[in-house]
Structure 1
Amino acid sequence: MDAGLAAVLGALAGSVATIGAALATGWAQREEARIAARAEHRRERREPRLEAYKAFILATSDLREQSTFFTVKELVPDDPGDLSTDLLFQAASALKDSALEVSLAGPRRVSKDAIKIQRLGSDLSTNVSLLKHALENPESVSQHLRRSFLRDTVATARGVSRAIDKFVLQAQAALDDDGSLS
């Protein structure tokens, strides 16, 4: 190989190496910027989520408190009374706005659990009202139907309790998520 060809090949190799290094550096900088932007986005979303989750958990705690006696068949009062059903209805109604906030804050798995709790709370309120009516009117509601209302009320109250526990764990996981697994 003559000296001229060697010089041209050497210059070409140097140029290719320089271009390759520039491309790799550019790619690494873009990747680093993307990671930084994603981390900042996650930080900005965490605080509103935390507030939405806290408000929802407070609302669900009130619902759980009002539904405690309905989770065990033997503890269900013979006459739930107007105050009990009203407080349960209010607790279930209070979940609506809070569930909306959680749904908008996300992520999807937490939103689904919040919506489920809100629906179960509404179902529980309805079931307790039906049970109350059945217990207050034994002459017009069959014993079979009263037992059915009681069974549905207990099952729904237990479902509310389990769903709340699941929501708390999902919310913790969402707040702890640093994005490294996504």
Structure 2
Amino acid sequence: MDQGIAAVLGAAVGVLGTLGTAVATYGAASRQARDQAKATHAQRLRDERREAYLSFLEGVTHVEKALQMIEPLVVSGDPAGINQLALSDAIGHLQAAETAYTLHYRKVQLAGPAKVAESALQVWEAVASFYTGMRSNATAPLSQENARRILTLAKKVAAADAEFLKQARGILEEPTA
């Protein structure tokens, strides 16, 4: 009888060992699948954010062209070097920039995170103010006071843009989990 019990106990230990190994293997495979899914999700989110941020930055080209049109004002602070045609061209570029930012802001807002979306909103608002300020000077010769106001608005756009780039770069450079 002792041999029978020993055989049953041996078989039971073998079955339990096999079951234990199966449970451990299942747990490890399940954990690996979860980790892989998290890594894949993080990579997709990073790619979506990158695309949203890059599309938002399409407006930068238009802002830069507008600043080139009013470069004499930016460099010297003297509105005398700016003609009506340059103002008109600058306003057109700012309108295109505002349109681009408007179209792409929602993508940034959706892609997140909140701190980048807030920075994008600051850029959008600064460009809208710059556009409004330039448009209000489209028909009259540019006075010193209006020139200072426009320069202040241009600096706000540059500062908001720099902050957006800093925030976006920080998110994109974070290591994935």
Alignment TM-score, normalising by the size of structure 2: 0.68
How far, CA to CA, are the matches of 1:73 and 1:92 in structure 2? 26
Deviation at 1:166, TM superposition (A): 2.0
**Any conservation in 2 of the 1:57–1:168 contact (CA below 8 Å)?**
no
1:79 aligns with 2:76: no
**Corresponding residue for 1:120?**
126
CA RMSD of aligned residues (A): 3.3
How far, CA to CA, are the matches of 1:170 and 1:61 in structure 2? 19
Which of the numbers 164, 168, 172 marks the counterpart of 1:167? 164
Instruction: Report the 3-state secondary structure (helix = DSSP H, G, I; strand = E; otherwise coil) of the residue aligned with 2:83.
Output: coil
Shift in alpha-carbon separation, 1:84–1:29, aligned structure 2, 3 A: same
**Corresponding residue for 1:61?**
61
**Any conservation in 2 of the 1:64–1:161 contact (CA below 8 Å)?**
no
Identity %: 23
Shift in alpha-carbon separation, 1:168–1:78, aligned structure 2, 3 A: same
1:156 aligns with 2:126: no
Deviation at 1:63, TM superposition (A): 1.4
How far, CA to CA, are the matches of 1:66 and 1:156 in structure 2? 12
Alignment TM-score, normalising by the size of structure 1: 0.66
Which of the numbers 125, 132, 142 marks the counterpart of 2:138? 132
How far, CA to CA, are the matches of 2:76 and 2:137 in structure 1? 12
One-letter code aligned to 1:90: A
Deviation at 1:46, TM superposition (A): 1.2
One-letter code aligned to 1:66: A
Deviation at 1:84, TM superposition (A): 2.7
Shift in alpha-carbon separation, 1:120–1:43, aligned structure 2, 3 A: same
1:41 aligns with 2:41: yes
One-letter code aligned to 2:43: R
How far, CA to CA, are the matches of 1:115 and 1:39 in structure 2? 29
Question: Which segments of 5 or more consecutive residues in structure 1 lack a partner in the other structure?
Answer: 1-25, 139-145
**Any conservation in 1 of the 2:98–2:124 contact (CA below 8 Å)?**
yes
**Any conservation in 2 of the 1:46–1:175 contact (CA below 8 Å)?**
yes
Deviation at 1:75, TM superposition (A): 5.5
How far, CA to CA, are the matches of 2:106 and 2:169 in structure 1? 18
